[in-house]
Structure 1
Amino acid sequence: KVNFALGYPLKYSVIFSFLQIIKNLMEHRQEEYIYLPSFLDFIKHPFIKNNKLKGRLLEEDIFQLDLRLKEQGKAYLTLEEIKKVKIHNPDLKEALDFILSLFQNYLNYQPAEKTTVKNLVKTFQELFKALHLTQQATSLELEEPTGLKSLLVWQEQVLSQLKLSPLQEQSLSWKKGLHLILNLTQKIFLPLKGEPLAGIQVLGLLESRLLAFNKVLVLGAEEGNLPQSSSPNPLLSGEIRLLLNLPQQEKQEQIQGYHLTRLLKASKEVYFLLTTSEKKDFLGGKNIPSRFVEKIIWELEKQKKEPAFKQLSTPLSSSALNTKTFLPKTKEHKEKIKTLLLQGISPSHLNTYLKCELLFYFNYILQLKEERKLGTFDSALLGSVVHKTLEVFFRPFKGKKICIEDKYIENLREILDENFRQMGLLEKLDKDKKLFLRHITYHKLKKYIQTISNTYSGYEVEELEKRVEYKLTNNIYLKGKIDKIIKNANQLIVLDYKTGQQLTSTAKIREVITKYTDLTSLKEKKFDFQIPFYIFLLTETQDKDINGGWVYLAPYEPKITLLFTEKNLKEEQELLNQNLPLLLKLVCTDMLEKDYFEPSLSQEPCSFCAYRKICPSPVI
C-alpha cells in the first residue's frame, strides 16, 4: 500500500494540455488564417475525439479528417478553406461541421481581441457544456484524478474563483486571459486517495511536520533539489523583495532546513539517496550532495561518528544495452534489389546503403514516401529547384568561357522564381517563410555564380545535367546524372551541387579510393560515392585528366571542394579507376547476398530520419 500526500500537479493533466492547445491555436493565428498543425492538435485531443456524435465516437472520423486536411499541404488555412475541403463521406462531413461549430462559437478570437474575465469564464463553461464533459466528469468516481475528474477540480478552483473575483469585469486580451488561466492551473494539485496510517507514505517536507517514522528515505538529495531553488527574477532582486516584504529565498531555505532537521530527530533510520557526477551539465554545473547533507556529515564527524556511505549500482547486461535490430532480408527483398541493380544503381542508392541499410530498405525497397511537416518545405524539392535554376542559367554559356558579368546575374531572380512556381515549392508556405526562402536561395546561387566565375574564368561549360551509364557486370548497371562539367585544354572538372552540409572530408574519400578497403571501413569513414562514381564513368569516354568536386551552397560563402590535388591528379585518378570497381562490386554484392538489413553504425543518421517511428532499431 502506498499513500501519496503530495497530490498530483494539474499541469500534467488532460485539462492543462487542452488549455495549452487552445492557447497555441489562438496565438498562432494570422488574422483570418488558422495554423493547421495547432488545429489538428485541437481535433485530436481526447476532449474532442472521445466525444460521441449520434452514438458514434468522433475518434473514428478524426484520423480521416487529419489526413484530408494534411493533403491540402498548407500550414495556414481559413475557416472557409477548411469547410470546402472535399469530403464525400456524410459522417466525416458531419464530424467536421461539429468541430468547426465548436471553434466558431467559442474559440474564433484574435489573440489581441479584448474580452473580460467574466466572459472568459463563461466561454469555457459553455465550451465544456457543448462537449458534454462536465456531465461525464460528474458521473465518475474519483479514481482517476488525471482524467475527466480533473476538469471538475479545475472548474471549482479556477473558473469558480475567477467568477467570484472582484476582477471579473477587468478588460484584457484573449492572449493574456489564457495565460492567466494557465498560470492559475499550474498551481493546483489534485488530491489522491490513500491510507495515511498504513503502508508507504510519499510526502514532502512540509507534509512531514509533527510526524515520526521508523524509516525515512529522502530522494533526490542533490544540491538544487534540497533545498529547492527557484530561478532569480531580474525584476525582483533580493533588495526589492525585502522592501516589498516578499518572501526571501534564504528564508525559504531556512524553513526547509528546519523541517528536515525535525524529521531527522523524529525518525529512527534516515537514508539520503542522491546521484553524483563529476561531469558538468550543459550549464556547467555538477551533481553534488545537498548542502544540508554536507552539514549533517560535518556534524557527525564533529561527534567522532562515521556516516555510512553505500554506492548503489544497477547492473545491465550487454544485451540490454544493445538496441540494434537486424531486419531479415527475404527472397522478395533480394528480387527487388536484383531488379534495381539491373535497372541501374546510382550514387544516391550506394550512399544511402552505406549510411543505413534500414534507410535503404524503407526508401528504395518499400518505397515509402517521407511525411512532410506542414509549413515546412521539401528539401529534395528545393534541391530540384536549385539544379534546374543553375541548368537554365548556365545553358547560354555552354561551350563558352565562364566569365559572367553582373548584367547576366540579373536574370537569376526571374529564373529562380519561375522554377519555384513550376515546382510549387512556395505556395504551401506562409508569407514570411516564402520571403526568407526566396531571398536565401537567391543569395546562395548568386554567390556561387560569382565564385565559379572568379575561380574558373579560364574554363568552358562542357555539359549540364549530363546522364551517364555504365555496365559494371552482367548483373550490375551504373547510372547517374552529372550536374555540371567544365573544362580547359588539359582537364575536365565534374561538379555536383549540394544544398546540405559537408559530411565527409575529401582526405578520407581519397584514402578509401587509393587503397582498397572493406565495407565496415566505408561506413565508418562515411564514404561518398558521388564524385568518384562520375569520374570513373567519364574516364571510359574521355582522354583528359578528370577531377571532380562538390559545390556546397549551404555555407555563407559557397565553396567548391575538389577531390584530387593538382600535384597527384594523374596518380590518384589511376588508383580510383583500379579500386572503385572493386568497391562498387563489394557494396552491390553485400546488398544482394547478405541475409539481413543492418542498422546504421552510428546514431547520427537516426536524429532526423523520417522512418524513426517504424524503424525496428530506433535510437533511444
Structure 2
Amino acid sequence: MKPLLQQIASVYLREHEQELGNMLFVFPNRRAGLFFLNYLSKMIDRPLFAPETMTVNELFARLSNLQTADRISLLFRLYAIYQSLSKKEETFDKFAYWGEMLLNDFDDVDKYLTDAKQLFTNVTELKQIDSLFDYLSENQIEAIRRFWSSFVPTSESAKQKDFRATWEILYPVYEKLHTELLASGEGYEGMIFREVAERMQRREELPVEWSRIIFVGFNALTPAEEKLFTYFRNNGLADFYWDYDIEELEDSTNRGSDFRQANLEQFKPRYELADEETRERTIELTGIPSAVGQAKYVHQLLRELYPGNKEEYSSEELMKTAVILSDENLLLPMLHSVPQELDKVNVTMGYPLSITPASTLIDNLFALQRAIRQKGTQTLFYYRNVQIILQHPYLLQLAGREAKAISDSITQYNKIYIPAEEFADNELLAALFVSNESPRQMAAYLTKLFRLLLQRLQTTEENTPPVHLEQEFLYHCYTAVNRIEGLLQNTEIELTNETFARLMKQLISAVSIPFEGEPLAGLQIMGLLETRGLDFENVIITSLNEGVFPQKQSAPSFIPYHLRKGFGLPTGEHQDAIFAYHFYRLIHRAKKVICTYDTRSEGLQSGEVSRYIHQLKYHYRQPIAEKIASFDISFSKPETVEIAKSEAIRQKLAPFLTEGSRRALSASAINTYLDCPLKFYLSTVEGLQESDDVEETIAASTFGSIFHGAMEELYNTMKGRMVTAEAIDSVLKSPTAINDAVALAFTRSFLKKEEGIVYPEGQHLLTTGIIQKYIEQLLRNDKKLTPFEYVASEYRFDERFALPSGKSVNLKGFIDRIDRKEGVTRILDYKTGSHDLTVFSGIAQLFDKEEKKRPKAVMQTFMYALLYQQQQGNCTVEPGIVIIRSLFKDADTKLYCKPERQATPVDDFNDYKEEFSAAFAQCLDEIFDPALPFTQTQDSDKCKYCPFTVICKR
C-alpha cells in the first residue's frame, strides 16, 4: 500500500505542478514534512519550486503577533503575580512544582478556548450552575455539579477551604499573567493559539502568504486548531487529508475513532486519494522477561529482515523499517543492539542531555555544594563527593595526573574533609572546588566552569569524534546554565540552591541533542508521536505493555477531573483515544508488525500485554503469532579451583626461601593458608590486595592499631626498666598523658600522618575515648602484676626457620608486648576481636584446616614464642593474649590447653615446643611442596567475607 504522504504528493503534483511553490503543507510534526518533500522530489523530473512545510504550532507562531516566552522566566513571572495576589508568604521553592502544573493548566485552558473566568468561578450554591453554565451541554453541567457538590460550604474540610482559597485567585492570576505578557509582546504556546483564534473570531484578516494551505494527517484537534481550520476553509484556502481509511477506525466502539466523524464532516478533502494495492499484514507478538532483552531481541529481528551485507541495502530500503520505542529508556540499549552492518540509522528522538556526562557533572557539583563544611575561614569538601568528581571522565581527561594524585592522597591519609587549598595548583580543579552559597553564585560558577571545560577540550591533543561529542554535550549544558543565569540576574525572587538544582534539572531534561546524519536515510528509531503521518513496511514496537502503551499516568493538573470533563479540557480518555488512533494508523499500511512486551510482574509492572493486542485478537479477529522468549539459566555446580605449583609459581615462592630476601611469611599469612590455601596463594604469593578506601569511622582493624600504638607510646618511657605500681599510678593520674598517646596513635594510624599530632573530634573522639578507657583498665590490671620488667613494645623479628626437608623459610612478625617477671618472659598479643580464642584442645587443633573454630591467636602466639626462643636462646617463655573487650571482666592473659574436661594453663612454652615445632614445620613444608597444589577451602562459611570470591566464584 502506498504511504499517505506519497499519495498526497502524487495528487498535488498532478493537479498543481506549477503552483506548488506558493503552497503550504501543514503536518503534525516536522519529520512528516521531510518525508513528504522526499516523496515529492522523487516524482519530479525537472526543476520546480518546492512548497513550504511546517507544523501547526509553527503556523500559529507565524500568524501571531506574540513571541514565545521562555518557560523558566514564565515561572518566575507567575510566582511574582501569585505573591502579589495571594498575600501568602510562600517561598519560591514550594511554589515551583505546582507553578509548573499551573502553567500547563493555563496552556490547556487557552488551547481549548475555555472561558477561564467561568472555569475558576467560586460556585457557592449548586443552583448557580444552571444559570452560570447554560451554554454547556447537560453532560458537561452534570460533571461540574458532581465536582462542586463535594464543596458545599456547610461541610467544608480544612483541605477544601485551602483549595477554595487558592481556586478563588486563579482567575486573577491568569488574567494578570496574560496582561503582563501581552504588554511585553510575549506569550506561551496556548496563549499564542488563543490570540490567533480570537483575532479570527473578531474577523481580523490574518497575514496569509500562501495560495493554499493543506493540512495533512491530523486527528485530535483543539478548539483553537478547529477555528484555524475553519477560517482557512471558509476563505477557500484550505484542503484537508485525514488518515481515517482504516478498517479498525471505522468501528465506532474503537476509541481511536472518537474524532473521525466530526473531522470528516467539517473538513473534507478536495481530491480523492486512490490506493489500489491490497494489504497483506502479518502480526507477531513476543513476550520477553527483560526490558533490555527486548532491545537484544530487536537485533535478531533486524538480522532476519536484512540478512546480507550493508552494500546490499540502500538507504531507501532501510527507511522502510521503523523501531518504535514505547519506553524511551530503551534508547541507549537499542542503539547498541543495531547490527553493525546497518550503519545508516536515524534517531528521531534525539539524545537526552540529561543522561550525558555533562549533566551528570552538574548533579555531582550540586551534591558537592550540599556537603560543604566551613571551619573558620577554611572551606572543606566531603571526600566522597570529591572522589566522584575527580573520577569524572572530563577530569580524568583534562587533569588526570593531578586528580589521581589528590585522590590517592585522600585514600592514603584517610582525609574525610579536604580543604580548598589542596586544589589551588590546577586551574581547572581550583575552579571546580569553590563554595557557592546562593543560586546566583552557583549559576556564575557553572557558567565559568563549563566555559573553561569547553576551552580545555578544544585545545586537547586528542581531537577525536568522542571529544567533539563531549564538546556538544558541554555546549548545550553551557547554554542552559547561561540562560538561567541571565534569568536569575533579572529577578529579585529568592530561591535556594535546592530549587535552583531542580530548575536546572528541569531545563536540561527538556533538551534533546539531535543526532547528526541524514534524516531521510537508514533505519528509523523513533517514539510513537514521531510516527504521525508516516508509514513503514516493517514496524517493530517494543514495550507494548499495558500502562506503557498506552501510558497509564496523566499529567498532574490543578483542575480536577470533573471540571476538566465539564469544560471540555483533555482528560485520560482523550489521551487513550489519541494513543489508539496512532497505534491503528501506524500498523495499517505495514506488511510486517512485530511487537515485544515485558512479561515480568514486579512492583507496579503487571507484565500484561497492551489492550490493543487483545482488541486485534478477539474483537477484530486478526491472526497473531504469539511466543514467549525465555533465557536458558542453569545453575551448574561450581568447580573446585586449585593452582598447581608450576615452574612459574615455584619461582614466585623461591624468595620466601632465599636468605636476605625481603619476602617473608607472617603468622597471619600462615593462618590464611590454613583457612584456605587458594586465598594464601592469591594474597601472599601473587600479592593481590583489596583497594584501600577512606575510613569515615574508625574500623575494627584501625581501632586495634590505635590501641597498639598508644600502649607502645605509654610503655616506651619504661622500656628496659622495672615497672612499679607508682609508675603506673603516675600515668593513670595524668589523663593528658593517655590522651596524648591515643591522639598520637590516631594521627599515625587513622590519618596516616608521620609528623605532628591531631586530636580527634566528633564521632572519632567518642571512639578514641573508648580506647582510652580500655588502656586505663589494662594499666590497672598491669598494676596488680608489678613489679615487672618491660622489655619491648611492637618488637619486630625476622628469622629463618629450618625445615626437615632441608629448606629454610623467611619468617617475620611483630610481638605486641614483651615483659619479664621472676625469670619468666611473657609474650603478649593484643586482640581487639571478640572471636579470638585462648583455649585449645591440642597442637593438632592449631593446624587443623577442617576446624571451624580454629584458635588462630594461639597459633600466632606460639609461633612468636618459638621464634623468640630461637633468637634469644632457650628461656622460659609464657605466651599470652590480652582480649581487649574482656579487660573489665577478666584480667587473665594465659592460654589454656583443654584436651578433655580439665584446662591446663600454658605457663611454659617449652612444654609444647617440640610438638608445635614439628607441626609448624610440617605446615611450612606443605606450603612449599611442589607436588601439592593450592586448593580451595571446602568450608563455604570461610568465604563469606573473602575479597576473592569473585575470582574463585564460591
Instruction: Give the shorter-chain TM-score range.
Output: 0.5 to 0.7
Q: Look up the SS of the partner of 1:336 in the other structure.
A: helix
Structure 1 position 382, deviation (Å): 4.5
Q: Look up the SS of the partner of 1:312 in the other structure.
A: coil
For 1:95-148, what per-residue CA distance to the aligned partner results, in whole angstroms no more than 9, with x for missing partners? x35336x62xxx675343x353xx6555544444444549949xx999988521
Structure 1 position 439, deviation (Å): 1.6
Aligned twin of 2:763 = 436
What is the CA–CA distance in structure 2 between the aligned matches of 1:453 and 1:130, rounded to whole Å? Answer: 62
The yes-or-no answer on 1:110 pairing with 2:435 is yes
Larger Rg: 2
What is the CA–CA distance in structure 1 between the aligned matches of 2:916 and 2:784, rounded to whole Å? Answer: 32
For 1:261-293, what per-residue CA distance to the aligned partner results, in whole angstroms no more than 9, with x for missing partners? 96378545444343548xxxxxxx569642445
Correspondent of 2:858 among 514, 528, 531: 531
The yes-or-no answer on 1:99 pairing with 2:428 is yes
**Residues 500 and 552, structure 1, Cα contact 8 Å, conserved in 2:** yes
What is the CA–CA distance in structure 2 between the aligned matches of 1:205 and 1:564, rounded to whole Å? Answer: 78
Structure 1 position 529, deviation (Å): 2.9
The yes-or-no answer on 1:190 pairing with 2:536 is no
Aligned twin of 1:19 = 362
What is the CA–CA distance in structure 1 between the aligned matches of 2:660 and 2:532, rounded to whole Å? Answer: 75
Kindly provide the amino acid, as one letter, of the partner of residue 748 in structure 2.
Answer: G
Kindly provide the amino acid, as one letter, of the partner of residue 654 in structure 2.
Answer: E
Kindly provide the amino acid, as one letter, of the partner of residue 438 in structure 1.
Answer: L
For 1:21-49, what per-residue CA distance to the aligned partner results, in whole angstroms no more than 9, with x for missing partners? 43344334333234385556656655566
Q: Which moved more, 1:425-434 or 1:122-131?
A: 425-434
What is the CA–CA distance in structure 1 between the aligned matches of 2:402 and 2:495, rounded to whole Å? Answer: 37
Q: Which moved more, 1:567-576 or 1:123-132?
A: 567-576
Aligned twin of 1:290 = 607
For 1:555-614, what per-residue CA distance to the aligned partner results, in whole angstroms no more than 9, with x for missing partners? xx99999887696355999999868954763355325637987789879879795xx9xx
The yes-or-no answer on 1:389 pairing with 2:735 is no
The yes-or-no answer on 1:312 pairing with 2:630 is yes
For 1:178-217, what per-residue CA distance to the aligned partner results, in whole angstroms no more than 9, with x for missing partners? 4532443244332334677776544445545666666655
Aligned twin of 1:585 = 922
Aligned twin of 1:91 = none
**Residues 881 and 895, structure 2, Cα contact 8 Å, conserved in 1:** yes
Correspondent of 2:773 among 438, 446, 459: 446
Structure 1 position 19, deviation (Å): 1.9
Q: Look up the SS of the partner of 1:170 in the other structure.
A: coil
What is the CA–CA distance in structure 1 between the aligned matches of 2:595 and 2:731, rounded to whole Å? Answer: 78
What is the CA–CA distance in structure 2 between the aligned matches of 1:150 and 1:122, rounded to whole Å? Answer: 19
Aligned twin of 1:153 = 476
Structure 1 position 352, deviation (Å): 3.9
The yes-or-no answer on 1:350 pairing with 2:670 is yes
Structure 1 position 379, deviation (Å): 6.9
Change (3 A) 1:167 1:358: farther
Kindly provide the amino acid, as one letter, of the partner of residue 530 in structure 1.
Answer: A
Identity, % of aligned positions: 16
Aligned twin of 2:598 = 274
For 1:334-385, what per-residue CA distance to the aligned partner results, in whole angstroms no more than 9, with x for missing partners? 2212148999643212134445756766667769896554877787554332
Correspondent of 2:381 among 14, 31, 35: 35
For 1:462-510, what per-residue CA distance to the aligned partner results, in whole angstroms no more than 9, with x for missing partners? 888696989573624766555579999xxx99974444675x9999x97
Change (3 A) 1:532 1:25: same
Change (3 A) 1:413 1:559: farther
Correspondent of 1:424 among 714, 731, 748: 748
Alignment of 1:127-276 (within 5 A): 127-133=449-455, 136=458, 147-157=470-480, 159-160=482-483, 163=486, 168-173=491-496, 176-178=499-501, 180-193=503-516, 200-207=523-530, 219=542, 242=560, 255=575, 259=579, 263=583, 266-267=586-587, 269-274=593-598, 276=600
Structure 1 position 149, deviation (Å): 0.7
Structure 1 position 535, deviation (Å): 4.5
Aligned twin of 1:337 = 656
What is the CA–CA distance in structure 2 between the aligned matches of 1:561 and 1:288, rounded to whole Å? Answer: 62
The yes-or-no answer on 1:9 pairing with 2:352 is yes
Kindly provide the amino acid, as one letter, of the partner of residue 110 in structure 1.
Answer: S
What is the CA–CA distance in structure 1 between the aligned matches of 2:783 and 2:562, rounded to whole Å? Answer: 72
What is the CA–CA distance in structure 1 between the aligned matches of 2:636 and 2:811, rounded to whole Å? Answer: 41
What is the CA–CA distance in structure 1 between the aligned matches of 2:923 and 2:842, rounded to whole Å? Answer: 17
Structure 1 position 387, deviation (Å): 1.8
Task: Report the TM-score, using the length of structure 1 for normalisation.
Answer: 0.62
Q: Look up the SS of the partner of 2:349 in the other structure.
A: coil
Task: Report the TM-score, using the length of structure 2 for normalisation.
Answer: 0.44
**Residues 676 and 937, structure 2, Cα contact 8 Å, conserved in 1:** yes
What is the CA–CA distance in structure 2 between the aligned matches of 1:619 and 1:301, rounded to whole Å? Answer: 50
Change (3 A) 1:566 1:308: same
Structure 1 position 59, deviation (Å): 5.2
Change (3 A) 1:534 1:172: same
Structure 1 position 300, deviation (Å): 5.8
- Segments of 5+ residues of structure 2 without an aligned counterpart are 1-341, 566-570
What is the CA–CA distance in structure 2 between the aligned matches of 1:80 and 1:110, rounded to whole Å? Answer: 12
For 1:227-251, what per-residue CA distance to the aligned partner results, in whole angstroms no more than 9, with x for missing partners? 8789x9xxx9x9988499999xxx7
What is the CA–CA distance in structure 1 between the aligned matches of 2:783 and 2:436, rounded to whole Å? Answer: 56
Change (3 A) 1:210 1:10: same
**Residues 485 and 494, structure 1, Cα contact 8 Å, conserved in 2:** yes
What is the CA–CA distance in structure 1 between the aligned matches of 2:886 and 2:542, rounded to whole Å? Answer: 52
Kindly provide the amino acid, as one letter, of the partner of residue 188 in structure 1.
Answer: V
Q: Look up the SS of the partner of 1:593 in the other structure.
A: coil
Aligned twin of 1:54 = none
Change (3 A) 1:472 1:332: closer
Q: Look up the SS of the partner of 2:630 in the other structure.
A: coil
**Residues 227 and 257, structure 1, Cα contact 8 Å, conserved in 2:** no
What is the CA–CA distance in structure 1 between the aligned matches of 2:560 and 2:914, rounded to whole Å? Answer: 79
What is the CA–CA distance in structure 1 between the aligned matches of 2:758 and 2:572, rounded to whole Å? Answer: 50
Q: Look up the SS of the partner of 2:927 in the other structure.
A: helix
Q: Look up the SS of the partner of 1:33 in the other structure.
A: strand
Q: Which moved more, 1:434-443 or 1:424-433?
A: 424-433
The yes-or-no answer on 1:568 pairing with 2:901 is yes
Kindly provide the amino acid, as one letter, of the partner of residue 16 in structure 1.
Answer: S
Structure 1 position 4, deviation (Å): 3.1
Aligned twin of 2:304 = none
Structure 1 position 386, deviation (Å): 0.7
**Residues 897 and 904, structure 2, Cα contact 8 Å, conserved in 1:** no
Q: Which moved more, 1:301-310 or 1:470-479?
A: 301-310
**Residues 826 and 880, structure 2, Cα contact 8 Å, conserved in 1:** yes
For 1:151-192, what per-residue CA distance to the aligned partner results, in whole angstroms no more than 9, with x for missing partners? 233344553366357964434455654453244324433233
What is the CA–CA distance in structure 2 between the aligned matches of 1:170 and 1:11, rounded to whole Å? Answer: 26
Kindly provide the amino acid, as one letter, of the partner of residue 19 in structure 1.
Answer: I
**Residues 10 and 16, structure 1, Cα contact 8 Å, conserved in 2:** yes
For 1:513-539, what per-residue CA distance to the aligned partner results, in whole angstroms no more than 9, with x for missing partners? 449756xx47xx585633234257659
